Every structure is written in structure tokens, then in C-alpha cells.
Chains A and B, each alone.
Chain A
């Protein structure tokens, strides 16, 4: 009985804490997250990896919000059609958001889940924070 119970422990990671990576407003109101490595993750993963993830995310958001010929064209076309064109096609921003969702899922599968971490897509938090959930490894706990 006791064995069964502790075996259950070993296979149940539980959430121990969440880390929030806030927005970086140094370049204005564009969507950009801080790349500073949070201290709570020091034992879980290396700094390089984390910074790479954040930098890629920032680049993707920059691509979504880029002011260029393409976005102007989209804006003007939308205006001329009285914005009805968005009933048929999705905006450039939405396309990039889907790309971001896929990227985060990918990162979670490859890098974060094996380390007991989980990245939450910032769009689910209103683009305010990147929430990283740290799952406590019961293996460590049961030794107490």
C-alpha cells in the first residue's frame, strides 16, 4: 500500500510556482518581452536556451507589428472595402499569432516539458506576461 502511494507520488509532478516574464517597454509600445533570465529557473535550464526562446518570440511579435509596405497595403485595402475584407481573410497579425502559438507548442514539447516547465502563450494573458509554470518534481520531494 505504502509503495503504491509513493509510486503515485513519483509520477505526479505538481506545480510549485510560476514565473512571470514582464513586458519590455524600452522601445515603445511594441510587444516585446524581457529577455533577462529569471533566477527561479536557474536550476532547471540554461540561460542561453531561455534567451533564445524569448528572442525568437520577440522577433515574431516584431514581425506581426512591423510597419511596412505590406501592412500599409493591407490597411488601405481594408479601408477601401469598408473593412469587409476581414470577413474573408485573416489579418497579418492573426497569421503571425498562429505561428507564435505553434512555436510555443514546439518549444514546450522539445525543451520545456522535459525539464518540468511549461510556457503559456502570452496571448492568453492579454500579451502582458509570459507565464512559465514550474512543475515540482516529486522525486526530489519524496526523499525528505
Chain B
């Protein structure tokens, strides 16, 4: 028998040593990859995962351009005249507003709106199990919903086929970004990102400050032209002297209508603690004339609603963009905190769990095979191996590898028993069972056996994983 290490029963010690034993042997990646590089949604990342943006952000440069150009023209052409004739406060106020607008816009665009990480394979399997016990036996089940009571109001939770979980209340799946976003408001093309729980306050401050900025520029330009025309006795001449003002006027005039309207609308939403999504769908407006209009999330007090939405505690990002992927090829973990947790101890627990979980998953799928092949006593392993190799190797291999790798993965990851190696460990299964950390992303890997298993998990054609190549 090959030398297998003996370890203490303490799970933490177990979780640290196999990982460290595994690392030097199995590490093939030259540079440790960060989790954002393998993110399944349609997002773009900048500054090594610090900034996140939607993939389709074509209009954001336009928005920025319009704001910068208009403000630039204002400072260059109108301010000198107004400083001379009125007060120096005008460019100061304009400057402050401009900076605030740009800061809010960039914050809205580059902040994670509250993306929910996709469910791990274990969770998905668990949910599937719970549904199947009560559901029908057709291959493609109907869209699943779950009803819950929130503040004595019935709310339906929908099952997201892409993210494989029941969406929390107020969460919606954005098809443009391919993510479930908490407190989903809308996907704003001007800002190039979804507007959700984490960046709604920045979005709101952006549109409010932009309303002020456009109104301010509009008023200043009108004043400028008026003063000039009074001095020169003619509007036409005044305009001829300062053509840029006309450009600004036109831009501001059209912006003001839309921006002020939008600000007003969002002020109403904030005061009644609604999202654009809910308002458009009319989720809570069934009872017309009722004070609460059925919204279970409202605090029934405008000030409390405003404070809760805009000044409430800032929730953390649930997707760990800058965490490192475990030393595997293309297999990221689905979720982790954004904080710097102490070096691998809690993560290694998770890794350990999911590593062996994968085995459990395989076991679940081949439960009958497993029970037949791997009885309790390990001394029987060698004759068992002969039996297995002589009978059906194709089906037996995965289950045998799952059962035996389960024991071996714990300890002697580097030195498996040589008796088992030639038979039980086919290349794919061995690598997958010992390497993959998160079974959820094994479904996206190009392993043929696993892609079959992915379908067994009962998903429809909505497998939304972007293939990781």
C-alpha cells in the first residue's frame, strides 16, 4: 500500500494540508487568476476588477461627452462675461456642480449594482430536489414560483433558470448583463450599467445634480445673452458674438425636459419606496386609492422611505471580483466576500467542502452504482478494482473514481494508491474530481461526462453559462 498520510480529525487541519499538498503538485497556472476573469455575466472589468461595467455601454461616452462639452463651452465662453458683469461665484458654483455630476455618473457606471452570484451546484441540486418532490414529472417543468408572505402581503418569488435559484424579492434578472440584480430598478444605457440596490443612490444624485447643472447653465446662458443684447441693442448681434451659447442653449433645453422629468419620477419612487421595475409592472398598484397601495416594503412615511433608500447602510458587493481563483484552469468560485479574508483558511474550508462536494454530487447521480461498488471496507479495494475493470468500465469508472477519490482526496492527493490509478482514474474524471473547486463551473467546462450530468440537473435550455475557454 502506498504511503497515505494520517491526519487529525480536525476539519480545519484537513482543509489546509491537502490544499498545500495539492498546490505545488497541481499548480500549472503561471499567474494566479482573479475571479473577475471568469465571471459568468456579461460585464466588463477594469483596473484589475476594481471597476465593473455592462458589456453594452455604447452610450456612456456620449453622456460623458455631452456633459463635458456643454460645461466646457459654458466655462470658456459664458463665464468670462458673467464674471465681469455679475459675480465670480458663477463659475465656482458651476464647477462644483460639474464635478459632482461627473463623480456621480462615474460612480453609478462603475459600481456593482448589487449583482447576485449564481448558485453553486450543490445549492441548485438541493433546490431541484425540493421542487421535484412536489412537482410534475415532465422533462421541462413550467416556470417555478414560490409564494411567501412579506408583511402580510403575498409575494411570488420566481425561479431564475440562469442563476439557478429562487430570486429574492425585488430582484430581477437583467438580460443585457445576464445577472440577477438586487432591488433591480432598470438598466440605464446612458450610464452603461444596471441601476440596483448598491448604486441607486449614486444614480439619483447624478440625475438630481444634472438637473441642477442643466438648469444653472440654461439660466446663465439666458442671462448672458440678455445682458449682451441689452448692451449691444440686438439679440442677433449678441448671438453672433457668442455662438457657443446657442449650442449650449439647445442642448440644455432638450435635456432639461427629460432630466427634470426623470428626477421628478425618481423622487416619487424614492418617496414611496418603489423601483422603476415595480412601477412599470404595476406590482403594487392593484388597489387604487389605498394609502399603502399594497407595497409591502414601504415604511409608510416619506422621510423614512427617502432616508432608507438614499442614506441607508451601504451593502457590500456579493461578487468577489478581486479574489483569486484557486489554482485550477478555468474554474472560479461563484461567490465570496469582497473583503480581504485571512489568507486561505476560511476559503480553504470552502474549497475543501466543495471539492468533496463534487464527489458527493457525483455520488448522488450514480448512487446505485456507488453502493454496489464501494462497500465500507477498503481492504477490498484491490479485488474490487479487478471486478470493475472487467465489467463495464465506462459507467463504473466515474463512480469508482468518485468513491475512491473521496477518501483519497482528503489525504494523499499527491500520491494516490497505484492500484487504483490505472483503472479508476480516467484523465478527465481524475482531474475534475481533484481540481475543480466549484461544481457549478464544471458544468461549463468542456468535459463531456459533466455536460451530460449538467442536463440531469433538470435545467431547461436556459443554461446561461458563458463557455469558459
Contact = CB atoms under 8 A, between A and B. Distances in A.
Interface of A: 1-2, 4-9, 11-18, 20, 23, 25-29, 64-67, 71-72, 74-76, 78-79, 82-83, 86, 91-94, 97-98, 101, 105, 108-109, 113, 116, 118, 120-121, 123-129, 131, 133, 135, 141-144
Given A29-B297, A79-B205, A9 B378 contact: yes
Interface string B348-380: 011001001101100000000000000111110
Nearest to B3: A4
Contacts of B120: 125
A16 B1 contact: no
Nearest to B364: A17
A127 B346 contact: no
Contact of A23 (B117, B168, B297): B168
A120 B350 CA distance: 7
B34 interface: no
A71 B311 contact: yes
A55 B148 CA distance: 20
Nearest to B107: A83
A118 B14 CA distance: 12
A29 B307 CA distance: 16
Given A67-B312, A97-B339, A128 B149 contact: no
B378 A6 contact: yes
Given A8-B6, A141-B376, A144-B376, A97 B337 contact: yes
A4 B1 contact: yes
A5 B378 contact: yes
A108 B10 CA distance: 11
A27 to B, nearest CB: 7
Tell me if A's interface is mostly helix, strand, loop or mixed: mixed
The 8 closest A-B pairs by CB, nearest first: A75-B311, A144-B376, A123-B337, A126-B335, A126-B117, A15-B356, A2-B379, A126-B318
Nearest to B358: A15
A25 B6 contact: no
B122 interface: yes
B346 A93 contact: no
Interface string B314-353: 1110110000000000000111110101000011011001
B156 to A, nearest CB: 12
B335 A124 contact: yes
A133 B12 CA distance: 13
